[in-house]
């Protein structure tokens, strides 16, 4: 264990305000999660239309959403680095423009390759530039109420899913899938407005991060300081990432295939879409409840809360094939939505326990990049299982199994069974006398004068 001291002549950054303009940042995060993950979750309506229009296999169609999610995650370090250099506001606004543009171009697709490039590549890249900086901004504005604030911010996905699934079905019925995609592209332009709300925290002399006029922060001087490459040598962090590789293999399966499964067992179009709406309501409630529960410290650590919700999500997924009618699928969708929603804010707040608050922006970026492999293969594998078995039973059981496996991997984290909160950590490889300005140039505010103990696992 190594402990280092910041030179006493260096000023410390102010504490997180836990309120004030931070609630506007939470509102911006709410809108951004609604227009990123709300669209992803409701894309199952378009899955059915693509299947009928292009006449391809379920596995091939599944790659459209899967590529978008994978690019979102794989390009997250780019969002982190650009946000560290230029600030979150311009990066998020640029991402909103790309996300909207990709959806608009997708409406002119004549084959699956066009959809892969527009929704998968262009819109996925835009989502990456939107989501990572906005989540990190919420973490910077809150400390004592961080999990609750994060739960409120990411609950936008649940609210929008409630409205988007039946709304997208209505648009498809009225305008066809091409016209519906154009309207969704127009709605996504609201990402630009929400990005403009992301005011950086003021630091010494009132200068915000990334201000070229001077002040406490400077632009990153090296690739390592911009991307925080030392995280790739931090074994607890890499183990934590492995958990979410497994989670992503199963987590997104219902958003691609639950509507199709409901239609397959005899549910009408709008009834099938309403199952996702019920799941969306439960998802929103789960995110807020999990944030409140974690901040109430009923469990000693956020990672313990995360383990509980992850295991319950896996169990709910394995039970989905037991639903053979609207009456049985509704409660299953409700349980899945609540449990799956609850684990989302804890993914980011538990990360602070692993790497420390100063590395949260870079940590989110690398976590999304490395876990992208799970999202990339998860829904295509479930589609492939559907093709070879003739039903979705194996698809949902395997999706639940990988989430249960992820909850078991969490048990291997250092000091997992300790009831006391661990000291905040920083990844190995940090220079022994690193200047606080260099630490700040990585895009993360320094949380005090003492560097935290290093846990290398």
| Mean per-residue pLDDT pooled into runs of 10, the chain (457 residues) | 34 56 86 87 82 80 82 82 82 92 91 90 91 80 77 78 81 91 93 85 46 39 61 86 90 84 84 81 85 75 87 94 88 91 84 76 79 79 87 90 93 79 50 38 34 31
Dihedral sign computed on CA atoms, order 215, 221, 227, 230: negative
Q: Quote the CA–CA distance of 247 and 407 in Å, as a whole number.
A: 9
Cα separation, 191 vs 214, in Å, equals: 29
d(CA 333, CA 255): 11
Residue 157: its pLDDT value, please?
A: 75
pLDDT at 450: 30
Distance CA 311, CA 291 (A): 17
Tens digit of each residue's pLDDT (9 = 90 or more) over 396-453: 999 999 999 999 999 988 888 776 555 544 454 444 334 433 333 333 333 332 322 3
Contact 338, 263 (CB under 8 A): no
The pLDDT value recorded for residue 42 is 80
Q: 117: which DSSP letter?
A: I
Long-range contacts: 292-297, Cβ < 8 Å, 24+?
292/148, 292/151, 294/147, 294/148, 294/345, 294/346, 294/349, 295/144, 295/145, 295/146, 295/147, 295/148
How much is the pLDDT for 405? 94
Long-range CB contacts for residues 385-389, cutoff 8 Å, separation at least 24: 386/58, 386/59, 386/257, 387/57, 387/58, 387/59
pLDDT score, position 201: 67
| CB under 8 A, 24+ apart: contacts of 4-9 | 4/430, 4/432, 4/433, 4/434, 4/451, 5/449, 5/450, 5/451, 6/436, 6/446, 6/449, 6/450, 6/451, 7/433, 7/435, 7/436, 8/449
Within 8 A by CB and 6+ apart from 456, the residues are 234, 235, 236, 428
Length of the chain (residues): 457
Whole-prediction pTM: 0.67
Distance CA 157, CA 391 (A): 28
pLDDT at position 105, please? 94
User: In degrees, to the nearest 5, what angle opens at C-alpha 57 toward C-alphas 53 and 58?
Assistant: 95
Token reading at 26: 């939470």
Distances in Å between the Cα of 129 and the Cα atoms of 78, 213, 285 are 7, 25, 27
Contact 318, 397 (CB under 8 A): yes
Chain position carrying tokens 């969306």? 280
Burial of 170 (0-12, 13-18, 19+ CB in 10 A): middle
Decide if 379 contacts 66 (C-beta within 8 A): yes
Token output for 90? 């311009």
């Amino acid at each position: 264990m190594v402990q280092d001291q910041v030179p006493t002549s260096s000023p410390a950054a102010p504490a997180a305000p836990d309120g004030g303009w931070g609630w506007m940042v939470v509102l911006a995060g709410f809108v951004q999660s609604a227009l990123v993950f709300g669209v992803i979750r409701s894309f199952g309506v378009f899955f059915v239309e693509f299947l009928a229009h292009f006449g391809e296999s379920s596995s091939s169609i599944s790659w459209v959403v899967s590529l978008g999610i994978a690019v979102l995650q794989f390009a997250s370090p780019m969002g982190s680095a650009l946000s560290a250099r230029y600030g979150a506001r311009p990066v998020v606004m640029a991402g909103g423009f790309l996300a909207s543009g990709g959806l608009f171009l997708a409406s002119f697709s004549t084959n699956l390759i066009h959809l892969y490039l527009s929704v998968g590549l262009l819109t996925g890249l835009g989502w990456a530039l939107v989501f990572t900086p906005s989540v990190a901004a919420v973490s910077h504005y809150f400390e004592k109420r961080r999990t609750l604030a994060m739960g409120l911010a990411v609950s936008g996905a649940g609210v929008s899913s409630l409205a988007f699934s039946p709304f997208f079905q209505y648009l498809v019925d009225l305008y066809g899938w091409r016209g519906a995609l154009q309207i969704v592209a127009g709605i996504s332009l609201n990402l630009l407005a929400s990005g403009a709300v992301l005011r950086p925290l003021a630091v010494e002399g009132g200068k915000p991060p990334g201000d070229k006029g001077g002040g406490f922060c400077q632009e990153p001087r090296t690739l390592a300081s911009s991307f925080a490459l030392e995280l790739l040598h931090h074994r607890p962090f890499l183990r934590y990432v492995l958990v979410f590789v497994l989670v992503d293999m199963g987590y997104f399966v219902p958003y691609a295939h639950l509507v199709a499964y409901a239609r397959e067992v005899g549910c009408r179009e709008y009834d099938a879409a309403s199952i996702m709406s019920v799941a969306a309501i439960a998802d929103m409630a789960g995110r807020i409840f999990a944030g409140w529960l974690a901040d109430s410290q009923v469990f000693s650590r956020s990672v313990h809360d995360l383990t509980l919700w992850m295991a319950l999500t896996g169990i709910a997924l394995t039970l989905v094939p037991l639903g053979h009618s609207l009456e049985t699928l509704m409660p299953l969708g409700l349980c899945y939505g609540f449990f799956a929603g609850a684990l989302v804010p804890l993914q980011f707040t538990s990360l602070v326990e692993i790497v420390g608050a100063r590395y949260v922006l870079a940590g989110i970026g690398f976590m999304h990049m490395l876990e992208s492999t799970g999202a990339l293969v998860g829904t295509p594998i479930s589609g492939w299982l559907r093709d070879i078995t003739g039903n979705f039973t194996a698809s949902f059981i395997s999706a639940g199994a990988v989430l249960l496996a992820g909850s078991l991997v969490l048990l291997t984290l250092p000091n997992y069974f300790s009831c006391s909160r661990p000291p905040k950590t920083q990844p190995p490889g940090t220079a022994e006398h690193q200047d606080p300005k260099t630490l700040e140039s990585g895009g993360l505010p320094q949380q005090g004068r003492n560097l935290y103990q290093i846990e290398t696992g």
